[in-house]
Amino acid sequence: MADLIDCWIPAAVSAKPASPLRLTELLAAWQGGQNGAFGQAFALVYEELKRIASQRLRQSGSDLTLSPTALLHEAYLRVAESDVVFKNRAHFFAGMSLYIRSALVDHARARTAAKRGGLDMLVSLSEAQMGEEAMVTELLALDQSLQALAALDPRCAEVMHLLCFAGLDREEIADVLTVSLATVDRDLRFGKAWIREELAGGR
């Protein structure tokens, strides 16, 4: 599990992203109270967000009871019901990824609780199911590690979240957090090392 952090660092997406300027305009309109602006912004980047949701589901081992579409729509509803403010594309993806993470972790916790059955349950699981259960456990372990890191260094934990769950690059992370690239790089080095040790049981 010590190498789990590497598995959650997303590969570069080859598909062309939606126009950052158009998204920023729609977000500004939404913040200004324009009806339907958030829905348009969501639709503009829907495929990009769906790829993020799909990646997170594959990495977490979640079963087919939660589809990428369902996960993304749950995150959408959580955003729509909140008072969150997004100023640009990077902020939007950072915020949406936080709600995707929250929905995914809630689902994993509920799924784990529902499947607690002691030894009888374990011996009845197939090899594939055992592998899936391990991935769900790893997702929860990563989430707990990020929470523990947040108690120690909130900004570093946010950098790691933006990398692992939002799929933002170094420049976008620096923009969201309004810090320098050098600061992001330092936080990434420390965060990766800290989480690896945490997952390995070194703390």
Write the pLDDT tens digit of every residue in 93-103: 888 888 888 88
Q: How far apart are CA 52 and CA 181, in angstroms?
A: 24
Question: Please, what is the average pLDDT of the chain?
Answer: 76
Q: Which of 131, 134, 154 is nearest to 142 (CA)?
A: 134
25-29, 109-113, 125-129, 132-136: which has the minimum mean pLDDT? Answer: 125-129
Closest CA to 106 of 158, 148, 60: 60
Confidence check: pLDDT of 181 > 90? yes
pLDDT cut 70: percent of the chain above it:
73
Burial class (CB in 10 A: 0-12, 13-18, 19+), 49: buried
pLDDT at 125 over 60: no
